[in-house]
Structure 1
Amino acid sequence: MTDWADPDTLDLSDGETFDRLLDRADTREKGHFFEFFAEGDKLVHDPGLRLTHHGSEQWMGQTLNHDPAYWRADTAQERGFEERPVHPDYLLACVMGITVEDLSEKGGYFLGRDDVEFYQPATAGTPLSVTSTVVDTRTSSSRPKYGIVTWETEGRNRETGERLVSYQRTNMIPRREPAATDGGAVGEQDESDPTLPDTLVTPEGEHFEDFQRALDTAREENAAVAYRHERGRTMDDQLVAGLPLATLNTARQHHNRDEMADSPSGDIVAYGDVTRSIALAHARSDEATYREHRFADERFHDFVTLGDTVYGFTRVLDCDPDAGPSRAGAVTFEHVAFNQEQTPVYSGRRTALIQRDT
């Protein structure tokens, strides 16, 4: 009789033996299927990542976010920060990364995010406490193997309880059992051609007054304030796999090529927050950003994979001179990230405080 407790009974380095044994083994699953989620459920995520300057600087360097207020203490103080904060894109990515194991590790694609609001700057050393509440669950009308879940997520300082950021996010999530659907498409859109503005206006500078003047001109001339940014960033291993894993984002889509080989993308894909941050970095390089305020209607339109190059395009929607401190005014933008084939991959609306030219 074989003593299976004896470690020498089986030679697991023998390929044939290991293959036979592996076929009989159960897989201890990570993450949750669609059926796990019910409206109103609250999930407390663990572990809570501790924010660091190293992590923030790594994120900023790789995504081309070079705002000196997040690199140097003197500029941070000039900008009204009590101490040098971490970059808000890094904060948002860390808060969302922590949630992945509980919410979306099973796979499925990040469809969008809304009502992103920053309440106060976060500094290095801050330990995060993150919770999510299920807002809505529904069947995908086009993909019977998936459902669609929306969560509201909140990131706080674990030690003080102060709220740092909140948002709503929507993902496709695999179902344990396929559902019957009506075969309709998700998000069908009117294919009629939109009416384009007569001309496009580009701001002459990077300050609030430049955006306001451009918008005033556009309103007088049946034009729009819209322009593209010169920089592009090609997706490499560090961006696609390294940055997500540094924020504890364990979704297989970003680091498991074996699992993704038979997926619609055919390869690992970029974390949406990396794509987004690169597009925003291109935009920020052409503006005198003072503070980030809020984001809305963020959508992810197509896969971004290794070797793709991400570019940025911006439209200015509104200027509010009365919002913010005396040294800045609020500008609302619509940003679009697109790839080397000019295919949109991300879009979203952003309100930021832009420094005045005084």
Structure 2
Amino acid sequence: MTDWTDPETFARALERAETREKGNCFEDFAEGQVIEHDPGLTLTKHGNEAWMSQTLNHDPAYWRRDAAEARDFAAPPIHPDYLTAATLGVTVEDLSEKGGYFLGRTDVRFPTDAVYPGTELRVESEVVTKKASSSRPNYGIVTWRTRGTNAETGEVLCSYERTNMIPRRTPLETDGGERSDGGTAEDAADEADLPAEFVVPEGGYFEDFAAALDAAEGRDAAVAYRHERGRTQDDVTVASLPLATLNTAKQHHNVDAMADSPSGDIVTYGDVTRSTALGHARSDERTYREVGFDDERFHTFVTPGDTVYAFTRVLDAEETGDVAGTVRFEHVAFNQRDEPVYSGTRAAKICKRDD
């Protein structure tokens, strides 16, 4: 009788066994294809608070009923960062579990004023474009438009467009003339000189950001500053938070598979990196509502033991209401080696002083 657990016997069995693969390759996607992701996810108070606490997003309106009601919420709502991460996490098995670089995301929007715990999230994605990458013949580049909806009402809760490199089953013949992000080397922009002066807002209210922008206007100056807090990546941020959003990508969970990858180790889920940096930034402002995000990019790997810091540049401020005004920021997350790991623009309504 064969002992399948005998080491030599089992090793021979593994050599002969076919692997049941998960995920899709570049060739499996077609422009216009719509993918309904299953399973969905119920957005819970526990999941929301776990995400917020571990990424240092401590806005009291998302924790306490009195603070929520003061901001015109019916109760502490689901944080937009957790909603975004959950919407993406549900898509991973169908779209990006095979691996490949997360090249960026844009047009992140939240059409509803608030989403509350207990909401059942359903997610679908449409293939917008797919194209070759001649510099990486083992990969192609796919862009999807993803929408997270309320399963009961069909209301859109979160939407965005993201682009990934996706492994090919059959490598593409190449002459090496294209960059990995799909652009040519000649497209790379020259670095602009930094302004002579950095102006720092005196506080975190809308008026402080507007005043800082006024002070910088007409001078060789920018409203820019770094945030003191840092968050070192550990087992919770690298593995637990992605799994809580159903993100099954091997990049976050399989040390064996990632040993020979360019990172040499498992990596932090991009939305954890992003949310951590935004948590640092929000600790220095009076946020009223998130409006949306654009031009999000991930520049290099974040691995266990790396520390995520944040830098902010204030782009403009606009009067949009009595309670809050809209401020547009550029946020850059960076590691302990001062290397940018994430960047993106963000629009948020910032509270005005209650005079």
1:182 deviates by 2.7
Q: Conserved in 1, the CA contact under 8 Å of 2:326 and 2:349?
A: yes
AA aligned opposite 2:79: H
1:10 deviates by 2.8
C-alpha separation between the residues in 2 aligned to 1:141 and 1:295?
Answer: 30
How many residues are treated as equivalent by the alignment? 348
AA aligned opposite 2:338: Q
Q: Does 1:327 align with 2:323?
A: yes
Stretch deviating more after TM superposition (213-222 or 98-107):
213-222
AA aligned opposite 2:151: R
SS in 1 for 2:39: coil
Deviating above 2 A after TM superposition, structure 1's stretches of 4 or more consecutive aligned residues are 184-193
Q: CA RMSD for the aligned pairs?
A: 1.0
Q: Structure 2: where are the runs of 5+ without partners? A: none
Aligned pairs for 1:51-200 within 5 A: 51-120=43-112, 121-184=114-177, 185-186=179-180, 187=183, 188=185, 190=188, 192-200=190-198
SS in 1 for 2:302: coil
SS in 1 for 2:91: helix
Q: Conserved in 2, the CA contact under 8 Å of 1:269 and 1:305?
A: yes
1:190 deviates by 4.0
SS in 2 for 1:49: strand
Q: Does 1:21 align with 2:13?
A: yes
C-alpha separation between the residues in 1 aligned to 2:289 and 2:2?
Answer: 61
In structure 1, the residue matched to 2:31 is 39
Q: Conserved in 2, the CA contact under 8 Å of 1:139 and 1:181?
A: no
1:191 deviates by 6.4
Stretch deviating more after TM superposition (31-40 or 194-203):
194-203
The C-alpha deviation readout for 1:57-91, integer Å capped at 9, x for no partner, is 00011000000111011111110112221111111
SS in 2 for 1:220: coil
Q: Structure 1: where are the runs of 5+ without partners? A: 1-8
C-alpha separation between the residues in 2 aligned to 1:54 and 1:182?
Answer: 51
Q: Does 1:339 align with 2:335?
A: yes
Q: What TM-score do the two structures reach when normalised by structure 1?
A: 0.95
Q: Percent identity?
A: 65
Q: What TM-score do the two structures reach when normalised by structure 2?
A: 0.96
In structure 2, the residue matched to 1:210 is 208
SS in 1 for 2:136: coil
Stretch deviating more after TM superposition (179-188 or 42-51):
179-188
In structure 2, the residue matched to 1:3 is none
Q: Conserved in 1, the CA contact under 8 Å of 2:134 and 2:172?
A: no
1:264 deviates by 0.5
AA aligned opposite 1:132: S
SS in 1 for 2:304: coil
Q: Conserved in 2, the CA contact under 8 Å of 1:64 and 1:278?
A: yes
C-alpha separation between the residues in 1 aligned to 2:221 and 2:157?
Answer: 38
Stretch deviating more after TM superposition (16-25 or 329-338):
16-25
Q: Conserved in 2, the CA contact under 8 Å of 1:152 and 1:166?
A: yes
